[in-house]
Structure 1
Amino acid sequence: MTAQLEQEDGVMQEYDVVVVGGGAAGLSGALTLARARRSVLVVDAGRPRNAPAEGVHGLLGREGISPAELVERGRAEVRSHGGQVVSGEVDAVVRDGEAFAVALSEGRRVRGRRLLVATGLVDELPEVEGLRERWGREVVHCPYCHGWEVRDRAVGVLATGPMSVHQALLFRQWSRDVVLFSHTAELSAEEAEQLAATGIGVVPGEVVALETEGERLAGVRTADGSVVERQVVAVAPRARVRAGFLAGLGLGAVEHPSGVGEHLPSDTAGRSGAAGVWVAGNVADPLMQVGAAAAAGAAAAAGINADLVAEEVRRAVAAHRTRERTADGGVLSGR
């Protein structure tokens, strides 16, 4: 572990790894690195993508745990192994010799030999009245995350992009009462046939609002004033990654192959196109669930540690060779 000077609040000036983002991917990566006896700092803005959800689902051993509790448990585990977690945002990252200079929003600066980016993404929802207010409750996006909880209810799928028909076909697995609101999308003949063959109705016209009765969702209103009774609305939001602070490294978001929005490209181990920078979680793949994001964070951390070990071995070998040459020269000159 790298020996460091401490700043006033205990945050050191330099770390083996700075992790940007403290969700499942970032904390899992930080835990793996801390257990490898690396000095680790996690900088987290405290805005997890799944904050509106009541629980995290499909996570083995933690089914239904609240997103806030999962984060608190993760932070405690990282700290118990010597890692540090601070609240804040990263404004910019630039190269500083063989390391990275990381500028935090409150004016503090730290250095990291390596960088793990796990900042996640922002879900950009359609401008439909009442949609955002019910996001994470009766308005959902992932059948594997929420399908069991909304099983056998009347589901309406709001067509917003290339994944919408696929989304409707998936939700049909959990409910026999599924309709697709075409909204502003145009269905291909093949898509229309698939929906008809599986008993999924299509409601034409733009959706303008969600209707409620008391505290519950009651229906979906279209531009012509019609209201279709629905208990759940599924929507595929556009993913926008949090990555502006990487501009100084030449890294930027590109379109994800699925068409759902942006991501930061990487190889299968999480290594980005910038040397020394790894990415993990939804910032790399917007389709990842929590379990997959945590696994990706651990895999990226293992890659980072291996890279650091390789660097340290190269330096040790170079130093060893220097000592050997010095020793040989001393013996020769003494003859």
Structure 2
Amino acid sequence: MPNSMMRYDVLIIGGSYAGLSAALQLGRARRRVLVIDAGQRRNRFAHASHGFLGQDGVAPGQIIATARAQLAHYTTVEIREGAATGVKGDEHGFVVETAADPVSGARLILAGGVTDSLPEVPGLAERWGRHVFHCPYCHGYELNQGPIGVLATGPVSLHHAQMLPDWGPTTLFLNGAVDPHAAELADLARRGVTVERTPVAGFFDEGADLRLADGRTIPLTGVFTLARTHITGPLATELGVDIEEGPLGQCIQVDAMQQTSVAGVFACGDVARLAGSVPLAVASGAMAGVAAHRSLIFTA
């Protein structure tokens, strides 16, 4: 390792909810930590975050700002803006390339999140996080039991549609993505879900209303859909950690302590779950931070 290279106990890739939660545990253990953050939170399009105890309804950016302000009190924790562009192992642990200088750490936590590939429906991307959502626990309550649409992207959307009637009368727009069989249609009917087979042409006006291919407009207070996810950044692939392919996309396989298949590498947040939310990301980040610290003590 070059003498000029900065060395840390733990490098954390990603400075959103999971990464900062991991950094907090390690900072409280007085370990030297560097968080490398590209600033692309998955929920950056949402006006408010819900379901996180003590922060319900707070703007996502404000939660991050508060977390950063609290972490600033821990002098062994640093945050560097920018992307991690590469990684390799060395005799000391791991070397991560950044836009500035390379840095070295004995342990590595991957918390860089995932990227959503949205359905190609006109107007959907502009409404993501405002009128179109993926998690009913995060955004369903605020729709005040108004009419809800579920835009199908595959078979898992049938399960999605069966969940939504607890938040409002629900219509499942098949849009050619799935063709339910008789038993599935019966399950949907038992939950009171209306099934619409006419393809979706796009969104109407400025809200959540959907325009169908036959010219009809369906008034809605919100639309839910399941985007396919891809692991953000190259590091997981370069490290060779085991990656799981699920019905909604990719995630890094971890054990109960957030340890990946590569020794000394942990993962947390949405990148380590097939479905995620802010409270789950914070919880997994706390576990990853504790586990990384324990590994420094007991396997050094």
Residue 165 (structure 2) pairs with residue 172 (structure 1): yes
Residue 64 (structure 2) pairs with residue 65 (structure 1): no
Query: 1:87 pairs with 81, 101, 112, which one?
Result: 81
Residue 251 (structure 2) pairs with residue 250 (structure 1): no
Verify the 8 A CA contact 1:26 1:280 in the aligned structure 2.
yes
Q: Which has the higher contact order (CA 8 A, sep 6+)?
A: 2
Residue 158 of structure 1 aligns to which amino acid in structure 2? L
Residue 172 of structure 2 aligns to which amino acid in structure 1? L
Distance 1:222 1:157, change over 3 A: same
Partner of 2:90: 96
Residue 124 (structure 2) pairs with residue 131 (structure 1): yes
After superposition, give the CA deviation of every residue in 1:208-248 in whole Å (9 maximum; x if it has no partner): 20101xx433x212223332222211111111111422333
Query: 1:291 pairs with 260, 279, 295, which one?
Result: 279
How far apart, CA to CA, are the structure 2 residues paired with 1:222 and 1:79?
Answer: 51
Once structures 1 and 2 are overlaid, which stretch shifts more, 43-52 or 79-88? Answer: 79-88
Q: Please tell me whether Structure 1 or Structure 2 has the larger radius of gyration of its CA atoms.
A: 1
How far apart, CA to CA, are the structure 1 residues paired with 2:211 and 2:57?
Answer: 32
What is the CA-CA distance between 1:254 and the residue it aligns to?
Answer: 3.0
What is the CA-CA distance between 1:117 and the residue it aligns to?
Answer: 0.4
What is the CA-CA distance between 1:307 and the residue it aligns to?
Answer: 0.6
How far apart, CA to CA, are the structure 1 residues paired with 2:7 and 2:245?
Answer: 34
Verify the 8 A CA contact 2:20 2:285 in the aligned structure 1.
yes
After superposition, give the CA deviation of every residue in 1:250-285 in whole Å (9 maximum; x if it has no partner): 2364303xx111101111111001111000010000
Gaps of 5+ in 1: 313-335
How far apart, CA to CA, are the structure 2 residues paired with 1:263 and 1:43?
Answer: 20
SS in 1 for 2:166: coil
Gaps of 5+ in 2: none
Q: TM-score, normalised by structure 1?
A: 0.85
Percent of paired sites with the same residue:
38
Residue 179 of structure 1 aligns to which amino acid in structure 2? T
SS in 2 for 1:209: strand
Residue 14 of structure 2 aligns to which amino acid in structure 1? G
How far apart, CA to CA, are the structure 1 residues paired with 2:121 and 2:277?
Answer: 25
Distance 1:70 1:85, change over 3 A: same
Verify the 8 A CA contact 1:93 1:246 in the aligned structure 2.
no
Partner of 1:182: 174
SS in 2 for 1:80: coil
Q: TM-score, normalised by structure 2?
A: 0.94
Distance 1:252 1:226, change over 3 A: farther
Once structures 1 and 2 are overlaid, which stretch shifts more, 245-254 or 180-189? Answer: 245-254
Q: How does 1:125-274 map to 2 (within 5 A)?
A: 125-175=118-168, 177-184=169-176, 185-212=178-205, 215-217=206-208, 219-251=209-241, 253-256=243-246, 259-274=247-262
Partner of 1:315: none
Q: What's the C-alpha RMSD, in Å, of the aligned pairs?
A: 1.7
Residue 30 (structure 2) pairs with residue 37 (structure 1): yes
SS in 1 for 2:72: helix
Residue 170 of structure 2 aligns to which amino acid in structure 1? V
Residue 110 (structure 2) pairs with residue 122 (structure 1): no
Residue 7 (structure 2) pairs with residue 14 (structure 1): yes
Verify the 8 A CA contact 1:35 1:81 in the aligned structure 2.
yes
What is the CA-CA distance between 1:93 and the residue it aligns to?
Answer: 0.6
Verify the 8 A CA contact 1:241 1:253 in the aligned structure 2.
no
Verify the 8 A CA contact 2:244 2:250 in the aligned structure 1.
yes
